[in-house]
Each structure stands twice: as structure tokens, then as C-alpha cells.
Amino acid sequence: MPTLEDYKGQTPAWCPGCGNFNILRSFNEAMVEMGIEPHQFTIVSGIGQAAKFPHYTKCNTFNGLHGRTLPVATGIRLANHEMIVMAVAGDGDCYGEGGNHLLHAIRRNVNVKLFVHDNQVYGLTKGQASPTTGEGTKTKNQPFGVFSSQLNPMALGVALDCSFVARGYAGDSEHLKGLIKEAVHHKGFALVDILQPCVSFNKVNTYKWYGERVYHIEPEYNPEDRLKAFERSLEWGDKIPLGIIYRNNRHTYEDMIPVIKESPLVNQSFDLSKLEAALKEFY
């Protein structure tokens, strides 16, 4: 069985009090409790404070371009669908630069688990507005307030029939750990939006602000009722629900590709002479 020491990576360089610390701890504890060894999964990230996450835990890692987390994660998963593949991104990285990739990852339902550290600003570049910043919020780059409406990732996920839509909170580690486990066990694409206070650059959405608003979704709630899920996903402001908002059992992308259905691509034989012959037809 793995221990927390097995996951110990580099010393984090996040600001003291950053919500990322609790997310990292919840994630590693979830892996230990599920008995998943570091070599059994891969984490993909792009650019941003959240994207440093795989530096600070021990596992297979790919750290790529800004907003391109999901295409890489999808490729890794299709090459080896026996590997657990996770993607970590910030709200700017995933909902901004990577927004188009998010839409199509949800549509394909590839079995990748996406954890979005949603601090409602671009923290790495000192706090300008991200897609989830509240309309009217003033920042150093938006002195007249944000003009664009605030993106609702939960409603987006439900509207696109995303296989697993959940919201966690960095200030509630035990609950978040449970959500991470549920996402890993779920068969299909999982979107977990994690509310994460940025203590340096977001002076609005603080631990106190969230503490007065977040609540756990009641146990009798049925996340497979899509209409109810849509209603719940729209809650924001005085009450913010935490938990699994929506879930379905669609076929995964891997299940529908005949070439890899029976065996991962990495385990299949490869005849280089056939590739060379094909290339000769064009060059």
C-alpha cells in the first residue's frame, strides 16, 4: 500500500494560505486511501499556479502549453487506457484559453478526470480577471470592473451532458477528498470545479466569503435528474452547493474505438515497414 511519503514531490512555492495546499493534500490522501501507486496514473497540466500541482506530487507528469491540458490528457488516455489520467488546470487555463478543448472533451466523454482550481483570477500573472470573475469586480487590469458576464462551469457541464459534474471547496478537505475519489471511480469524463481562495490577488472571494455561502448537497439529492441538476447548477451567490451536481452513464470514447477496444495501443505490435511503405506513396 502506498503512503503519503510516496507522493512527496518538490517543496510548493505557493503563497502561504493558498487554497492549493489543501487541494494537494486532499488529492494525495485520496490516492493513498484508494491504494493507487504513483506509477499507476499520469497528471497533465498547462500553465498557471494550479499547473504547478504535478511538480509537488510524485507520479507520471506532462506539463505542457497554456490551455492545452485536455488534448494531451486525451492523447495519453487513448494511447494507454489502462493508465489513470488526470488533468489539473486553473480557471483561466481551462475555461479561458482551453475553453474550446473543454467543450469537446465533455462531448467525447474520454475517461479523463479534470480538476479545476477555480480562484476566479489569473493568479500566476498577478490577479487579472478570469472567465469566472464576477461581473463588475475591479482588478488592476479592470479598474472600471469586469464587463463580461461570469462563466458558470457547473451549468455549462450540465448543459453539455457532461458525464460527471461536481464542485468542491479547498476549505473543506474531507469533502473534497471524497469528491476526488468519486471522480476517479466514475467511468467517463469528470469535471470537478474546486473553489479555491487566492489570498494574494482575490480580496473578494475569501475563505470568510465562501464559509458564509457553501453548503453540502443533501444525501437524498439525485444527481442523475438532469433538470434538477440544472437548477442546482444555477445556485450562486448567497448559497453555493458542494457535491456531485450531475452524473450519467454514457459510453466512453475509448469504448467506441474498435482499434483500442480490446487492448491498449501501447500493448499492440507495430510494424515499421508498413509505415515506411505508406510514406513512399506520397514522398
- Encode pLDDT of 73-132 as tens digits: 999 999 999 999 999 999 999 999 999 999 999 999 999 999 999 999 998 888 899 999
86, 115 contact by CB (below 8 A) = yes
Per-residue pLDDT at 16: 95
Per-residue pLDDT at 194: 98
Residue 148 clears pLDDT 90, i.e. is over it: yes
Distance CA 135, CA 146 (A): 5
Per-residue pLDDT at 140: 87
The model carries a pTM of 0.94
Q: 282 falls in which pLDDT band (50, 70, 90)? A: confident
